[in-house]
Amino acid sequence: MQPRAAGRLELTSADARMPPKLTLDAAGHPEDSRRLVAGVRRAWRIARSAELTSVTVRILGLDEHTLESDAELSAYIRANMGTFCHAVGTARMGPNEDSGAVVDQYGRVRGVDNVWVADASIMPAVLRTAPNLTTIMIGERIGEWLRA
């Protein structure tokens, strides 16, 4: 839940109705890939333990041969991974000195009048938990400021 890779959000057009291009870049950093490979190998050892093999028939999609090679296992992971959480940080909040920050502490978009962002995209870092409750809090708090 603390990846080192960062994805990208890119506008595809000046037309606000056109969807942006979102690239998650999961496992794009070598340390992320190393940790995923180590995690899958650990999960494999657990799945192949005497306690679990006594109640399972087989493991689908993965085999000993793939686990022997870091490159093959990394390729397998990239081909089969997905996300269970919401992307965060695509319009991150930060101080004026942060050239990468899109919004201020009130969710106001820098350089654009009368535009606020009040969702998970303003989170400056990835949470170690699902962002649902934090996102609700962000929306509630920015909503209070706007109503005031």
C-beta separation of 103 from 116 below 8 A:
yes
Other C-beta atoms lying within 10 Å of the C-beta of residue 87? 16
Give residue for tokens 């101080």: 95
Active site residue 29: no
Catalytic-role residue among 3, 29, 86, 116: 86
d(CA 133, CA 43) in angstroms, rounded, equals 29
**For 76-119, what is each residue's pLDDT tens digit?**
999 998 776 677 888 999 999 999 999 999 999 999 999 999 99
Query: Could you write out the three-class secondary structure of 73-109?
Result: HHHHHHHHCCCCCCCCCCCCECCCCCCCCCECCCCEE
In angstroms, the first-to-last Cα distance of the chain is 35
pLDDT tens across the length of the chain (148 residues) = 778 888 888 889 999 899 989 888 888 899 999 999 999 999 999 999 999 999 988 888 899 999 999 999 999 999 998 776 677 888 999 999 999 999 999 999 999 999 999 999 999 988 888 888 999 999 999 999 999 9
pTM of the model: 0.68
